[in-house]
Amino acid sequence: MVRPLKYLVNKEFWNVGPDVLPTLPLTAIRGIVEEDMGGFGIAGINTIPELAAARFTKQARKDLSGFKLNRGISFAIDIMAHVNEPGIHEEILPIEELLDRPFEVTSPGDLAGLGTVAIEGIAPKNAKRLKAAGVASTIGELARKEAGALKLAGLPDWEAEKFVQFARWVMECAEARIEKPNMDNVELMLKGDTLEIAFDNSKEFGPSKTGLTTIVATSRGGRRIDGTDLSFTMSAYKYPDSKPNVDVKYKSKKKLKDAQNVAVSISGDITTLTVDLSVDLGVSASGKSTIVASSRGNKRLETTNIYYGLNVYRILKKRS
């Protein structure tokens, strides 16, 4: 999944156009400061496209740590994905990927009050450090912090970035479920091992957060599929007119991956995504679920200006 732009660049660059992103200085990337520029220069990296195309490697020099380089490459690759596919990378992770298993069924209204230990990856000792340092004792408090504040608890930069980001995503999930708990323009039909997910291409639900796209359909986060042990996330966006013309020489090193176990059909204004629920595509990168079907990123519906994203997965039971 490509991270939303607001987690990749500093706040003053959140609203720049996709054609401007490749021209931004490296210091526009969150976590890269002016003192790092000498090290990037020595490595022959001076622009965001060059950083995105760089190889992941460790640099044995004090002026550019392996952590700083690899983190920068990861962020630059996602930034260039926003350049090549502007406006469509706005999904947040499903709640199952953000919280530790015992807390995944927490009601939306109670999420802000959960202890920080509920966030996936925060060990009890780190949760205690955050509380003892006066940084945050709940997810709601952590979501309002900047990553730098977590240094008071002795957490390294990469963990601080991740935990604050996860806390904010949890709160976004909670807000979406509280304000409008139902899915928008998503209809499910289960026929044995076949799942059909349909939406009306002609419907619109207002602009996305970036304003570059219009929401066509959304599951509003992870949803259980009734009668099964499966869950899914789905979203569809459209460009108000046509896809912005972005002439960028850079091409991502990531090849466009084909969707897995997703058949698409369009009849009039209705798009139907068909999934064979008996398929098992293996364990997800997080190790918390097995993948049943995936669009593997946002895919364009042929002959339309609509992009869709779909993931169907089975949460693995926690080993005792």
Instruction: Say if residues 270 and 199 touch (Cβ distance below 8 Å).
Output: yes
pLDDT at 140 over 90: yes
- Is 87 buried (19+), middle (13-18) or exposed (0-12) by CB count in 10 A? buried
pLDDT of 277 above 90: yes
pLDDT tens digits, 174-188: 776 665 567 889 999
232 and 197 Cβ atoms separated by less than 8 Å: yes
Which residues lie across from 237 on neighbouring strands?
215, 307
Confidence of residue 66 (pLDDT cuts 50, 70, 90): low
**The predicted structure's pLDDT at residue 60:** 42
The closest of 85, 89, 96 to 312, measured between CA atoms, is 96
Confidence at residue 157, expressed as pLDDT on a 0 to 100 scale: 75
Residue 251: is its pLDDT beyond 50?
A: no
Cβ neighbours around 134 below 10 Å, total: 11
In whole angstroms, what is the distance from residue 55 CA to residue 201 CA? 40
- Flag whether pLDDT at 265 surpasses 50: yes
How many angstroms separate the CA atoms of 231 and 221, rounded? Answer: 10
Burial class (CB in 10 A: 0-12, 13-18, 19+), 106: middle
State both tokens at 23.
């021209």
Torsion angle of the four alpha carbons 4, 5, 10, 16, in this order, in degrees rounded to the nearest 10: -150
Q: Are 292 and 312 in contact (CB under 8 A)?
A: yes
Helix (H) or strand (E) holding 84: helix 66-84
Specify the pLDDT at position 222.
78
Element of type H or E holding 276: strand 270-276
pLDDT, residue 286, reads 63
Residue with tokens 């054609």: 19
Provide the β-strand partners of residue 306: 238
What pLDDT, on a 0 to 100 scale, did the predictor assign at position 303?
76
Which residues, listed in sequence order, are joined to residue 236 by a DSSP beta bridge? 217, 308
Report the C-alpha gap between 223 and 205 in whole angstroms. 19
Q: pLDDT band for 92, please (50, 70, 90 cuts).
A: low
Most confident of 46-60, 160-174, 241-255: 160-174
